[in-house]
Chain A
Amino acid sequence: KAGVTQTPRYLIKTRGQQVTLSCSPISGHRSVSWYQQTPGQGLQFLFEYFSETQRNKGNFPGRFSGRQFSNSRSEMNVSTLELGDSALYLCASSLWQGGEQYFGPGTRLTVT
């Protein structure tokens, strides 16, 4: 069974731009969570989607948003990028909300 895939793997954007990251969960998994990982803050929870609905949200500004499609694939969007948004963005999928999570390799976003 294929693991969680994330595209793109690497991305460079400039301040003020917006970006969309994509996550394809493991087949059959219906829950997708997004995390931001930085050297200074470590891993931080962004949001979780289950059955196309956002179920939980972390403490991030409204510039960070996401959605989930009927096939459980998920996208997250960051608008008006700031330098501090440079991070590794990780997606994790699980069979159900709160289930064991399987992480993808992440998308490394650099904002210049």
Chain B
Amino acid sequence: GESVGLHLPTLSVQEGDNSIINCAYSNSASDYFIWYKQESGKGPQFIIDIRSNMDKRQGQRVTVLLNKTVKHLSLQIAATQPGDSAVYFCAETDLNDMRFGAGTRLTVKP
């Protein structure tokens, strides 16, 4: 899984811009991937998921892209809003274990 450090990567964007948050995973057997959003003082909140038989999935203002060749996952947020400010985690699972990325802190400037 991800190596997890003390300092979260950060991404700062202007309100209205698009955001792209990236995640690399290590287990080629992982077949289910999830993005979570965690606001300060709260538990993670499900955003969108994708199974390994897909390479793209769209939700409301969010898109997840999966590149199994390079074991890379990305989350795209369209028209980012101040309420999107949070820490975003990717998670990978092969149904026996779930591994989380370190997270990326997204800050949206008004």
- The residues of B that contact A104 with a CB separation of less than 8 Å are 43
Is the CB of A83 closer than 8 A to any CB of chain B?
no
Known A101-B46, A106-B43; judge A43-B100 contact (CB<8 A): yes
Would you mind naming 28 contact pairs between A and B with Cβ atoms under 8 Å apart?
A: A4-B43, A33-B98, A35-B100, A40-B4, A40-B5, A40-B6, A41-B4, A42-B89, A42-B100, A42-B103, A43-B44, A43-B100, A43-B103, A44-B100, A45-B97, A56-B96, A58-B97, A90-B44, A92-B43, A98-B93, A100-B49, A101-B34, A101-B46, A102-B46, A103-B36, A103-B43, A103-B45, A104-B43
B61: interface (CB < 8 Å): no
- Residues of chain A having any CB pair with chain B under 8 Å: 4, 33, 35, 39-45, 56, 58, 90, 92, 97-98, 100-106
The minimal Cβ–Cβ distance linking A47 to chain B, given in whole angstroms, is: 10
CB-defined contacts of A102 to chain B, threshold 8 Å: 46
B68-110, CB < 8 A from A:
89, 91, 93, 95-103
* Other A-B pairs, 17, CB within 8 Å; known A43-B44, A98-B93: A4-B43, A42-B2, A42-B100, A42-B102, A42-B103, A43-B91, A43-B103, A45-B97, A56-B96, A58-B97, A90-B44, A100-B49, A102-B46, A103-B36, A105-B41, A105-B42, A106-B43
- Which residues in chain B, 13-29, are within 8 Å of chain A measured between CB atoms? none
| Bound-state Cα–Cα, A40 to B43, Å | 17
> Nearest B residue to A59 by beta-carbon distance?
B97
Of all chain B residues, which has the CB nearest A48?
B98
State A35–B43 Cα separation when bound (angstroms): 11
User: B residues within 8 A CB of A100?
Assistant: 46, 49
Nearest CB of B to A38, in Å: 9
